[in-house]
Structure 1
Amino acid sequence: MKKIIKIVLGVIVGLVVLLSAVAGIFIYKVKNGFPVSYETEAPQITFPTDKPAILLFSKTTGFRHGASIDASKPVIADLAKKNNWYLYETEEGGVFNAQQLAKFSVVVFNNSTGEVINDEQKRVLEQYVENGGSLMGIHGAGDDSHHWDWYEKHLLGAKFSHHPLDPQFQMADILLDTPKDSLFSTLVPKWSNSDEWYVFFENPRKKGFNIVYTINGESINPSGNMLFVSTKNFGMGKDHPVAWYKQTGKGKTFYTSMGHNETAWQNTNFVKLIETALQWSAKK
């Protein structure tokens, strides 16, 4: 009997060790990205001369928010049709060359995670924004998998820490701040939604970003502790921004940490936020 108990305990311990190793590898890959290949061949694009061009870039090499990405595409296509924008959707990084990128009014990192473009393409995108282009990021575009100082400084204004796990999705009131641009002041002043609320180490407000929406960070459980992780039990406090923007050189950046899954794209208030951000970004 004792021998059987020892065998059972050994199997349990082995399974715990194996599962812990698998979880550790997965967390590492999510944070640092999966094997990467970079596309460098410029695509064939016929740009219309009478419409602002929007680049919707949904490539991922880290965690893939597949349901949100799939749900976003028809919604943004409808917004493009409504606003007379030309929409080019791709997951190929070859479009990040100076000649073609200059023809876009806005580049959207649509839940793009991991290192999705190479160093040369990153420099091209930086110059594009600083010379008057616009860069938008949605949810996963703000996680800590990009390893790109300029991107973190000018799009996010803060370093990602974690998201809650107990539970992962929580309902919160989303409150309109006092935007400096009148376009954002037309948004709904208060609405409620459930999302995966990203926690950052710093508040982008303190880095000079203009806040569009916040939640009360004290109204959610921000703990991201799991398995052997015991240091992710903090939040951002009561002032917890979830959408913000700023001027970067001659260009613009906008980011929202909302949009984890497909339900976001079914919410008219979230869609209106994205539409307004695109309108602001495309406006010269």
Structure 2
Amino acid sequence: MKKGLKIALWSLLGLVVLLFVAGGLFLYKVKNGFPVSYETDRPAINFPANKPAVLLFSKTTGFRHGESIDASKPVFQQLAQRNGWFVYETEEGGVFTPEQLKQFKAVVFDNSTGRVLNDEQQQALSEYVEAGGSLVGIHGSGDDSHHWPWYETNLLGAKFSHHPLNPQLQQADVHVNANVDSTLTRRLPASWKHTDEWYVFFTQPRGVRVVSYIDGDKIIPSGNVLFIKDKNFGMGHNHPVAWYRTVGRGKTFYTSMGHNAAVWQDTDFVQLLTNALQWAMASPK
């Protein structure tokens, strides 16, 4: 009997250790991504004449929002057909060269997480934006797994803290700021109901213009899990969920919305991204 009890206790201890190791690996991957190789082969792209080109980049080395990425691609292709754009989809970083980036009017980080570009590719993207290009980020592209100061400063303007866990997905009213570039607000209602995983940042984004926001006092922002008990704060009444800024001669736009496949059925969310791309590809006034 004692021997059986001892075996059961050792088995339970082993299970607890395995759970802690698995949880630790998961949290490490979410925060840092795993080591990754960088693609350097430059793809051959046939750019159609007289069509503004959009680079849709969805490589991940951190947490992968696979359902959202898969649901987004046909939506972007539909937008391309409707607006006369050319959308090039890839998860290969070899496209990030100065010569190829010049062919694109906008680059979209579509839930791209982790470190996805090497030093030379990061430099090519930052120089592309500062010289007049545009970068659009969606949801996971705003988490803290990228470890790239230029990106955090110029796309996000704030450091990611966490997202709610209980419940993870919550409905909120998305309010539209009428006092921003009208290209970004056209065909949007004054507010709409949207269910998403609401990202919480340590501070309000700096140096940006907020396009839309939720009432942060009306969601449950707690991100507490296991022994982590310090992530139950929020961003207050005005909780930004989409914003933009100029960077050198270029532009960036980010929205923290876009967690799962269902968001791509929300016509107002899709309209927001349509506006963002039209704004991003517009020539400076």
Question: Contact between 2:55 and 2:107, CA under 8 Å: does it hold in 1?
Answer: yes
What is the CA-CA distance between 1:57 and the residue it aligns to? 0.5
Unpaired runs of 5+ residues, structure 1, are: none
Q: CA deviation at 1:105?
A: 0.3
Query: Could you say which residue in structure 2 is the equivalent of 1:258?
Result: 257
In structure 2, the residue matched to 1:165 is: 165
1:37 aligns with 2:37: yes
2:113 and 2:222 map into 1 onto residues whose CA distance is: 22
Query: Aligned ranges for residues 207-246 of structure 1 at < 5 Å?
Result: 207-246=206-245
- Moved >4 Å (runs of 4+): 1-7
Q: TM-score, normalised by structure 2?
A: 0.96
In structure 2, what is the equivalent of residue 280 of structure 1? 279
Can you give the 5+ residue segments of structure 2 that lack an aligned partner in the other structure? none
Shift in Å, 1:48: 2.4
CA RMSD of aligned residues (A): 1.3
Cα distance in 2 between the residues matched to 1:11 and 1:247: 57
- Residue aligned with 2:182, SS: coil
With structure 1 as the length reference, what TM-score do the two structures score?
0.96
Amino acid at match of 2:189: V
Q: Is the counterpart of residue 192 in structure 1 residue 189 in structure 2?
A: no
Residue 238 (structure 1) shift: 1.1
- Opposite residue 220 of structure 2, the aligned amino acid is N
Distance in 2 separating the partners of 1:278 and 1:195: 21
Aligned to 2:203: 202
Q: Which residue of 2 aligns with 1:17?
A: 17
- Greater CA drift, 15-24 or 90-99: 15-24
Q: Which amino acid aligns with 2:15?
A: L
Give 1:20's aligned amino acid. F
For 1:70, give the aligned amino acid. D
Q: Deviations over 1:138-178 (max 9, x none)?
A: 00000111000000000000000110101111111111123
Alignment check: 8 A CA contact 1:179 1:185 kept: no
Which residue of structure 1 lines up, in the alignment, with residue 69 of structure 2?
A: 69
Deviates more, 1:172-181 or 1:38-47: 172-181
CA distance in 2, matches of 1:202, 1:2: 56
What are the Cα deviations for residues 106-165 of structure 1, in whole angstroms up to 9, with x where unaligned? Answer: 000000001111011000000000000000000000011100000000000000011010
Whether the aligned pair in 1 keeps the contact of 2:185 and 2:272 (CA below 8 Å) is: no
Q: Could you give the per-residue CA deviations for residues 52-84 of structure 1, whole angstroms, max 9, x where no partner exists?
A: 110000111111111000000000000011111
The verdict on how the C-alpha distance between 1:179 and 1:59 changes in structure 2, with shifts beyond 3 A counting, is farther
Q: How many residue pairs align between the two structures?
A: 282
